[in-house]
Amino acid sequence: MTPPTATPEPYRVAYSGRVREGIKALVRRADQLSIGEAARDALRDLDFRLRIYPQFGEPFQDLLTPGQTRWHAIHWQLHVEWVLDEPHRSVFVVVPLRPLPDSPLYVEGNSR
């Protein structure tokens, strides 16, 4: 019988102030559209994924610092980008989450 494996240490996740403000605005808009609970669930799930398995997306740029890579993914109705610092088990979300164009959360001209 194989002994149980230890629970993996979660990654530390940091959201920039700009990202946190964008998330608040996104949730307010979702509340206005009556999809606030779904948005909150998706954001909680995203945070959980970034803490447990931040490699769930697609890498698209190796950074100059060894072990740091930019990743992105579509999660729920959002495009999400982050930096994974594998040696330090850290994740940095510094680009605001962007609703997809076919999402009711999408606002023309606010794609960045």
Q: What fold does the segment set 12-99 form as a domain?
A: YaeB-like fold (3.30.2310)
Domain definitions of the chain by residue range: 12-99
Task: State the burial class of residue 105 (Cβ atoms within 10 Å of its Cβ: 0-12, 13-18, 19+).
Answer: buried
Q: How far is CA 11 from the centre of its chain?
A: 13
pLDDT at 51 over 70: yes
How many residues are there in the chain?
112
Q: What is the pLDDT of residues 14-24, one digit of tens each?
A: 999 999 999 99
Q: What is the pLDDT of residues 84-110, one digit of tens each?
A: 999 999 999 999 999 999 999 998 876
Q: Give mean pLDDT, residues 13-36.
A: 98
**pTM more than 0.75:** yes
Q: Give mean pLDDT, residues 24-31.
A: 98
